[in-house]
Structure 1
């Protein structure tokens, strides 16, 4: 899932939350996310799982269509203004608002997907995509979201799809894929006593897949919701950086990344693989060209 550089990665991934997520999707990283957002005219808004992400304007139109929720009637004048204008200062001057007052108006619209921030720092009203069949539109989006995943459970699918999708809707889509012969259903994983859905072609060719490198999956990566249950049950974290060694998750850690430093505040790992986990974390910090700090890291080094 890694592209050659960040230019291709931005086009390959529908949504990008931060530099960590973008860096993990490309082999070489030369330009940061804000620069890429400007170069590719990306907007920043709220995705279906409630996170702020960078994506093309057309993507946010799709998300608003899927949400299918009307905006707050009291804020329609805000949406009307940013349909033809983008400068928030002009809006504040016109209505004699302070910055904090403007934020109180804009934030609910950003959270609901009706407003996004453009690549120049302005705002833009999101107009939904015209869909003649709303359910078909939602179904197609979900299929596109999970099409590259070899095996997925119902819970994982719910986490990735977000709140606009009801469990029965997700089940309908999965059953549709089974009926079409694209997915198979059953107990597909040896160590998981749970019904899964998987792509038959991917499972049949699994032995031909090249071995995966050791890496750290940041909580901002699009695949993070897929590992949410594992992260919680094995490591006790709701959201954290997940460390993979020899194709298996062996550790998870919390970190502050302000001031361009990875300050590890908490780490849970397999005691037998602690050194390997530290090595992978060091490589992760080196990839991002950020110093690695933290009392826990120092303790492991001294052991």
Structure 2
């Protein structure tokens, strides 16, 4: 890994990932509209504008906290999530309630740990927002996983949700190598080496073994594609799709969306990872159709 660790390069990489995430999220969300089903089958993008969801809104907070603190500050992140929380962006009910309570003065540590009878959430929310952090730490993938772990806890404290975030951050860091995107197997091998044993990790090993499969639907049937909105039902397939699509954003997004499932989230993860790497930016037309990032995101230097 030879990534430039200068502040300007870190910001540029993270912003590229954030934009890739936002386009994937916004485009994926369009295919929950029945009128757009035929377009998906034809791999034809619907007309804009495309509105992004909670995936992008939360990723913007991750990015903003990194710019301001040069690391994840959990209290600042939880506060940003709560202050910018838009109920209409598609948040799950548990996180909607948690962020409202944080905004009203609640302690995120107590609230997040109490979710789901004290088990914490094992949903895919911590993973869907984290790719820009991986791009930020492309010079240090181990630190990317550490910071991703820290970033998960304000909303997701179950081990699988945390490992899901670590895996996506690791993939984004590895994809951002300026020498060029790694081979698919090298990417998944690198991620597997950086995350602890878990259901997510087991899914990643299955994903690596299925890299030669050409039918994404078959792979999704084995790995899951977010229909249950859990980390281990979402992250392995998303990283399989990202690994096979490095350097070709459109191919990666279409392969991901066409299997269905939690399409805004799987496409957000794939878009953020692929967007981190050289040659992985979405096309200008897709960027133009996607809702602009919110005004509170510090993008001037990007």
Q: Confirm or deny a common fold (TM above 0.5).
A: no
Structure with the higher strand share, 1 or 2? 1
Taking CA–CA contacts closer than 8 Å with sequence separation of 6 or more, which of the two structures ends up with the larger relative contact order?
Answer: 2
Structure with the higher helix share, 1 or 2? 2
Larger Rg: 1
Q: TM-score, normalised by structure 1?
A: 0.29
